[in-house]
Amino acid sequence: MTHSRWYLLITLVLLLNLNTPGVLADSSPSDLLILTEEYAPFNYLEDGKLKGLSVDLLESAFRHMGSSITRDDFSLGFWSEAYQTSLTRNNTILFTMARIPEREDKFQWAGPIITDAKVLFGIPGENSYILHNDITSYRIVAISDDSGYQLALDVGASPDQVIVVSSAEEAIRMVENGTADVWSYGEMAGNELINQYAENPEKFTPLLDIGTVDEYYAIQKDTDPAFVRELNDTLARMKTERKESGSSEYEQIVYRYLPVQCAESDITSQMVTDLVNLTAGAISENTPETLDKINAGDAPYKDPDIPGLYVFVYTLDGILIADAGNPHLIGKKMTGKGDVTGKMFRDEMIAGAIDHGTGWVHYVFSHPAMSGIFPKKSYYRLVTGSDGNDYVVISGRYMSCAYLWQSSKESHDRSIEMDIQDDGKILLAGTRNETGQKDILVLRYLPTGKKDLSFGNNGAVIFSGDAGKDDYAFGVTYDTSGNVLVAGREHNGHDPDMILLKYLTDGTPDTDFGDNGVVRYAGPGNGTDSFRGLFVQEDGTILLTGEMNTSRHKEMIAVRVSPDGIVDETFADSGIFILNRTDDGDSYGFAIAPDKEGRIVLTGGIVVPGENNSSIATVRLQKNGEPDSSFGIDGLVTYQGNGCGPDYGNWVSVSSDDKIMVLGAETDSHGSYDIVLLRYSPDGTPDTSFGDAGVVVYRGSGYDYAWGKTIQDDGKIVIAGTSEINGVTTPILIRYNPDGTPDMTFGESGIFTFEAFGPGMLYGVHEDREGVLYANGYITKEGRDISLLVKIPAKDI
């Protein structure tokens, strides 16, 4: 049965049923008709039943209004037919509809439901037009009566450019067969429909943002205004009223269907702390008057121009005593109530205030001026009022963005390493696993977080070895010409070999490098050989480290490769340094970096004589690849933690004064891992001015591990990794001062957590020239790994 026939049938049935006595509450029109379309994740059919954010929200609103209307009374069909019906038939609701100026007087409105981006979808490189911001060159397809038509006109398209069709399926087919260049539609729903209808969904991508709109329930303009007011009031209460769990019903419904969203904000951390400090001072001088002003929403306790900047106050037993942003919650006990992810952030703020006086807490919350749920961080301060009672004064700001990339709904994608090019573009490298076979995945993003469509296929390059087995990328960087270099391993059908890939700036293989863009290197023994870390020197030569199987065991290695992919035979012993051992213990190389004199520092792991598990190994070589005897013992320094298992060095850097910093992980006494940061003097002895005799250890409540770090311009050290929080592996960033003490101004007591995005890990972190931090890794959603890129502007830090 086609959508149009099904729509007509359900409409007729519904019209008959609506006359049944007792179906509707008195507040609802007796002949109410509710129409929608296939527009996932807001409204869609699954297993014969309507689902979606807008469906759940409207059904719950009716329940709160005392109505017996359920989703079974909603009708799903073609948008254009439903739109025309909603214009003329009294007592009709149509959703989900973008509220744009051209529609304003045609309907009454209830909402907003969510904020949505409208984009032009297309297939880069397949159509005859080149991507650019002048859309007058495009043949645009839009659905009849959809906002995408008007928004395309608003950004410069002419009416004769726009081809109007009746369905998303038809629009997608036109882009695929080349009769249209782009499709103008909502980004979230468009991605869902492309996955449903496109022959090759992975080829589609948003080419251009053309606007952001608020989505609403549109109600026929002659419908009783009292009913519309009641619906709006109910939706507003669903957003602001907290359920017993601590989050609002709106937040719970949104989180069911959408990830935590981005909220760009003009509010800085300094503005938040200034407001809290001002409020604390006022409370200490005159508590009753200050609390009254807060609850009245008076300035400065609620900024009249920035709705997200306001203050609220708790007693130490968790009673909300004042709130400039949500006053109807005043007097309620809010401890033991979490955000939509389950984080008990109110309890953490009160406990932190009692223990430390001030601090920051991250959580997820709705926005007073935007629709959706967003990451937020709040600053708290303990103050004694003029009445002698203690209070916790709090204000917060909404946080920045996380960008996710998944090859397809069936794929597992992880980004293992990252780098930032001189032009600000962000490189990620890792793995894609779509069919049970892992391939090397390379991504490039613009500084805005959008995929760089000039690179590879929609911003991505996939390398799959000839053997059809698992291939991995562990390192990525760029050379002096902006070409991309990727280090990892490729399975040859028998066992994995080391591999170095080079791509031109557009993502095509550099055929002048090695063997058509590939350098392969294999050890003499059987087993896994891998390049793990790489570094490009100013002269274009490439330094690599990893592990290689000899006839006896694995060995840490270093190799130097010329800019055209030739192994430098003058380096070390015939082109390769091998950490030769007289015993049978393994060693591994995970990271590499030169110092200002050209000496080469490696870190990884090594099994030392008399030990069953590896220690962190740090090696320094001379320029020619020979061990530097002035460092440690014959160029080697080891560190063994206090636990019973293996320890590894995962990242290394060398400062301008030749001090060496190693980031790694050590096994704790329980057999789990802690994060360890080591700093050595130029001769390899511990730098006693750093941490505890050259060592800093981060011990959380469980499994803690770190892979990447960056040193900011002010000498502060940012670490990327994971920590077990409430039993969940959570992506984290940790920042230390140059002396190794925790930087308590960063995140929550020196730690930036990302529970809002789901379980996962961060592998790398870099700072760009504007002080913006980027971190990469992955999160797990619905059993699938999704590549993650987090952007944290300097104002958020």
Mean pLDDT of all residues in 465-494 = 93
Mean pLDDT of all residues in 744-765 = 85
Poorest-pLDDT segment among 112-116, 371-375, 635-639: 371-375
Question: 63: pLDDT confidence band, cut at 50, 70 and 90?
Answer: very high
Question: 609: pLDDT confidence band, cut at 50, 70 and 90?
Answer: low
Q: What is the pLDDT of residue 392?
A: 98
Strand partners, 116: 213
Poorest-pLDDT segment among 40-54, 190-204, 533-547: 190-204
Q: What is the pLDDT of residue 270?
A: 85
Mean pLDDT of all residues in 483-512 = 95
Q: What is the pLDDT of residue 781?
A: 81
Q: What is the pLDDT of residue 19?
A: 36
Q: How far apart are CA 650 and CA 646, in angstroms?
A: 13
Mean pLDDT of all residues in 417-442 = 93
Residue 404: pLDDT over 70: yes
Q: What is the pLDDT of residue 20?
A: 34
Question: 16: pLDDT confidence band, cut at 50, 70 and 90?
Answer: very low
118 with 185: CB under 8 angstroms? Answer: yes
359 with 353: CB under 8 angstroms? Answer: yes
Residue 369: pLDDT over 50: yes
Q: What is the pLDDT of residue 529?
A: 93
> Mind listing the pLDDT tens digit for each residue in 506-540?
999 999 999 999 999 988 878 889 999 999 999 99
Q: Are strands 614-621 and 636-639 parallel, antiparallel or unpaired?
A: antiparallel
Mean pLDDT of all residues in 563-582 = 88
708 with 763: CB under 8 angstroms? Answer: yes
Greater model confidence, 789 or 1: 789
Q: How far apart are CA 258 and CA 114, in angstroms?
A: 10
Task: For residue 350, give both structure tokens.
Answer: 């009160």
Mean pLDDT of all residues in 309-314 = 96
- C-alpha distances (whole Å) from 465 to each of 160, 408, 440, 462, 499 are 47, 20, 9, 10, 10
Question: 314: pLDDT confidence band, cut at 50, 70 and 90?
Answer: very high
Task: For residue 285, give both structure tokens.
Answer: 């001088």
Greater model confidence, 513 or 700: 513
- Residue 323 has φ and ψ, to the nearest 5°, of -155, 115
Give the 3-state secondary structure of residue 223: coil
Sign of CA dihedral 421, 203, 402, 701: negative
Q: How far apart are CA 629 and CA 237, in angstroms?
A: 71
Q: Letter for the amino acid at 774? A: Y
Q: How far apart are CA 556 and CA 568, in angstroms?
A: 18
Q: What is the pLDDT of residue 134?
A: 67
% of residues, the chain, pLDDT over 70:
92
- Residue 159 has φ and ψ, to the nearest 5°, of -55, -35
Question: 584: pLDDT confidence band, cut at 50, 70 and 90?
Answer: low
Residue 407: pLDDT over 80: no
> Domains (ranges, CATH) in the chain?
3-114+215-257 (3.40.190.10), 116-211 (3.40.190.10), 269-398 (3.30.450.20), 424-464+700-797 (no CATH)
Task: For residue 354, give both structure tokens.
Answer: 């009692």
> Mind listing the pLDDT tens digit for each residue in 756-765?
777 899 999 9
Residue 275: pLDDT over 70: yes
Greater model confidence, 198 or 451: 198
Task: For residue 700, give both structure tokens.
Answer: 């959380």
Q: What is the pLDDT of residue 24?
A: 37
Q: Which residues contact 450 (CB under 8 A, 6 or more apart)?
A: 206
Mean pLDDT of all residues in 39-44 = 93
% of residues, the chain, pLDDT over 90:
66
Question: 1: pLDDT confidence band, cut at 50, 70 and 90?
Answer: very low
Q: Which residues of 664-696 are buried (b: 16+ CB within 10 A; e: fewer)?
A: bbbbbeeebbbbbbbbbbbebebbeebbeebbb
Name the DSSP class of 709.
E
Chain centroid to CA 272? 24
Q: What is the pLDDT of residue 8?
A: 34
Q: What is the pLDDT of residue 400?
A: 65
**491: closest CA among 471, 473, 474, 475?**
471
Q: Letter for the amino acid at 294? A: I
Q: How far apart are CA 765 and CA 769, in angstroms?
A: 14
Residue 565: pLDDT over 50: yes
Q: What is the pLDDT of residue 547?
A: 94
Poorest-pLDDT segment among 277-281, 510-514, 613-617: 613-617
Strand partners, 636: 619, 633
Question: 18: pLDDT confidence band, cut at 50, 70 and 90?
Answer: very low
Half-sphere CA count of 663, side-chain side, radius 13 A:
29
Poorest-pLDDT segment among 119-133, 470-484, 554-568, 579-593: 119-133
Q: What is the pLDDT of residue 434?
A: 83
Mean pLDDT of all residues in 779-792 = 87
Greater model confidence, 293 or 782: 293
Across the beta sheet with 576-578, the strand order is 530-536, 542-549, 554-561, 576-578
Tokens 């390192």, located at residue: 475
Q: How far apart are CA 143 and CA 186, in angstroms?
A: 11
Question: 200: pLDDT confidence band, cut at 50, 70 and 90?
Answer: confident
Q: How far apart are CA 319 and CA 329, in angstroms?
A: 10
> Mind listing the pLDDT tens digit for each residue in 100-158?
999 999 999 999 999 888 999 998 765 434 444 567 888 999 999 999 999 999 989 99
Half-sphere CA count of 131, side-chain side, radius 13 A:
17
Q: What is the pLDDT of residue 322?
A: 97
Task: For residue 710, give both structure tokens.
Answer: 């960056």
Q: How far apart are CA 702 and CA 435, in angstroms?
A: 33
Q: How far apart are CA 238 and CA 230, in angstroms?
A: 12
Q: How far apart are CA 64 and CA 85, in angstroms?
A: 27
Mean pLDDT of all residues in 775-780 = 93
Greater model confidence, 26 or 793: 793
665 with 674: CB under 8 angstroms? Answer: yes
**658: closest CA among 711, 598, 717, 712?**
598
Tokens 């900011």, located at residue: 712
Q: Which residues contact 595 (CB under 8 A, 6 or more apart)?
A: 601, 654, 658, 660
Residue 7: pLDDT over 50: no
